Structure 1
Amino acid sequence: MFKNTLTIFLLTLAVSSIRAQPYNQFNTSYGYIQLGPMNTDWAHIYTDRSKFILNKPIYSYDGTFASYNTSNLNFQTNLTSRMTILNSNGNVGIGLTTPAQKLHVNGDGRFDGKLYVITNPAADWDYGLAVSANRDKTKVLTVTRAQTGADLFVVWGNGVVNTKTLYSEEIEVRSDAIGSYWPDYVFKSDYKLTPIKEVESYIKEHSHLPDVPSQAEISKNGINVAEMDAILLRKVEELTLYIIKLEKEVEALKEANQQK
């Protein structure tokens, strides 16, 4: 009778001990794994090893994968971090672990489909799409022909744009870019108008107007549109002065003939 009572007591003590422990622990000579609900909210898997290896795909019932507590969510291959999602603000970094924007990529990227960029700047003059470069001769933005790889449109790091054809309803050149070119000075009283005979001699020798680039120069160096517009306007203004001068000479001849 005493022996049976002692056996029941020991079994009851053992069951109570098992129930008090909220997990099962599996031990080997290399370490342990603890598996079980540690509190009323979470079930845990703990180990004293530095890594887990799972030899099958992992499926989440509700599609959620999350980091614990204040930790970042980090994805690795070959023991190297490839993508990080910050716990603090949700920024996603590819190729770096400290992303500064919602998507921060350190390295090359490629889209084989359409890319839509929809912006909603908070204020005027804010950025919609910004690309930065640290070298003048960097092709910051390039459109190429898929079949040949030839550049069709290039924006360089120094702001220069190369393209074959430009279609636009309106092009506005800022005043600070053309102010130094604009030839209002032609109509000032101290402007020295080249005598028309000298202009004629220059044309005969060079086959173009004075101060106007030659065909060879244009073919080699291209043109500055703002500067060329100013040159052409200066020639129109000079032509106006020639006409005014000619008109005065004609009027003088008329008066002289009337007096005879």
Structure 2
Amino acid sequence: MKQLFLTLIFAIIFCNCFSQGSISTIFQDESNGLNVTPGTTMVSDAKANGGTCMFRSAGAADGTFWAGPYIPVAAGSYLFQARIKVGSNSASSSLFMLDVVSQYGSVVHSAIWITPNMFKANNEWQLITIPVSIPHGITNLEMRGMNFQPGITDVYLDYVQLIPSSVSGFYSEELTISGKGDVGIGTTTPREKLSVNGKIRAKEIKVETANWPDYVFEEGYKVGTLKGLESYIKANKHLPGMPTAKEIAENGLELGEMVRLQQQKIEELTLHLIDKDKALQNVEIENKLLRAIQLQQEAAIKKMIERIDKIELKKL
């Protein structure tokens, strides 16, 4: 999740970079400029570009994985991409450094440590993308894999490329930024400013919403009757003003609006409860009065019976 967040930040940065005009993509692999260093070998791979790729085993010595060519690059903003895979993605320790440099390594334009847990699967090719800003024309730019750390896992490199950041959109199954600026995580077709195909965990989510339903407690608000509510529910199978199950299935649930609607229903229910409580109190008062009258009647009847009994006794 941390790596995905960093990738998202990088992607947002490059989307705001300026246009590169006619600058074209620079592509390099072992066939046109990447230098295989001691400890790195070439191996066959059917899914690699050209059927071969660079390989450095976990048992190789530390040092440089590969060194890029000295190439001229115009000033501007780019995406630096390297197609890499690892034998095992379980470790979180640094494997090697991916960097873009000039002046024979004395000027670093961008760099990131590659760790095995950046990769979603073992032995599966994945593009690692980082932004690069070149402040002025460079005649000797290098794209390198440095400081390989032995004993962690096998690693493969297919190719590296430098892409002008004016390319419209950025699309992958992990992270997508559309040409309209919509961001997708786990989806290549975001429909909102942020679409996430998966679970989200956060300590707190703050949703801004307008027209909070305190108006329910204003004088003159018509809350309706429970009988009318019952009739509506029987006819429509949902509460009035609330979206239907079909609408939620088709369009999703707007969290801010749903919380607002639920608060409105809670406040209306509170008014119903207050009204029913008042009615119940009136019933209790009436019951007490009826009970008092009943007791008085019972006492009067008792006295009447006693008088009748005395009269009957006198007759005897």
When normalised by structure 1's length, the TM-score is: 0.45
When normalised by structure 2's length, the TM-score is: 0.38
- Asked which structure has the greater CA Rg, the reply is 1
- Structure with a larger share of its residues in strand: 2
| RCO comparison, higher one (Cα < 8 Å, 6+) | 2
